[in-house]
Amino acid sequence: MKKSNASMKSFASILGLFVLGVVVLQSCKSDPNSPGFEYMPDMYRSPSYETYGTGLEPTGASARVPAENSIAMGEDNLPYPYPNTFEGYEAAGMNLKNPLAWNDENIAKGKANYMRFCVHCHGKKGKGDGTVPTNSEYPNPPAYDAGLKDLPAGKMFHSLQWGKNLMGSHASQMTKTERWEVILYVQTLQGKTANDLMNVAPADSASAAEGKEQ
């Protein structure tokens, strides 16, 4: 009786060792990245897609193309805030400031686009004597250095955005940055210098222009 009890005990301990060995060996996998036995795998590894990873149908990329009519980030793509009204024109004249620096490079870029988009009406020196009014019934635009001498940059931008009377909008031909460049060049044709622009506050130039109109 005693003997069989002892052999039962040693059998139980051998079985115990065997089970322990299986459990221990179970955690030894050939894949070094394998976490071994996982009780609730979703808690260790999230089922969500990795940023810019793969996995989504139909293209396989986790990043989708933007929805239709999305607006790309960046100053050039923001909607223009001033409406096409007299009040919008005045507000643009007061508040809009050229974000670009007055330097030779920007003025030269503005001149290049002026020669493409403006010269045929406004003329080389901005006197309103381009080939279109010279050779047709189209009226001469006002000269930059006379009728438009005190026009502030914000009003120019507004008129390029929406157009003004016989001049059409130039919003689809040029980006906002290109329009601000062309405005720098137009200001040289107004006879302005870097000094004038630094010393003229937008409110002053707007009221000067208004004073002229009356």
**Rounded to an integer, what distance in angstroms lies between the CA atom of residue 38 and that of residue 141?**
79
* Torsion sign over Cα 193, 203, 157, 168: negative
- Interaction with ligand HEC in 145-204: which residues (CB under 6 A)? 148, 151, 155-156, 159-160, 164-167, 170, 182, 186
Contacts for 122 with CB less than 8 Å, ≥ 6 apart: 114, 128, 130, 141, 144
Helix ranges restricted to H, 123-213? 131-135, 153-162, 176-189, 194-199, 202-213
Residue 115 in contact with ligand HEC, rule: CB under 6 A: no
By CB under 6 A, tell whether 122 contacts ligand HEC: yes
Binding mask 125-144 for ligand HEC (x = CB under 6 A): -------x--------xx--
Q: Which of 62, 117, 127, 200 binds ligand HEC (CB under 6 A)?
A: 117
The encoded tokens of residue 34 equal 């394998």
Shortest Å distance, C-beta 168 to ligand HEC: 7
Closest distance to ligand HEC from the beta carbon of 49 (Å): 46
Alpha-helical runs (H) found in the chain: 2-26, 41-44, 86-95, 104-117, 119-122, 131-135, 153-162, 176-189, 194-199, 202-213
Instruction: Pick the piece of the chain touching ligand HEC (CB under 6 A) from 5-13, 26-34, 53-61, 114-122.
Output: 114-122
Contact range with ligand HEC by CB under 6 A, out of 4-12, 26-34, 42-50, 118-126: 118-126
Binding site for ligand HEC (CB under 6 A): 117-118, 121-122, 132, 141-142, 148, 151, 155-156, 159-160, 164-167, 170, 182, 186
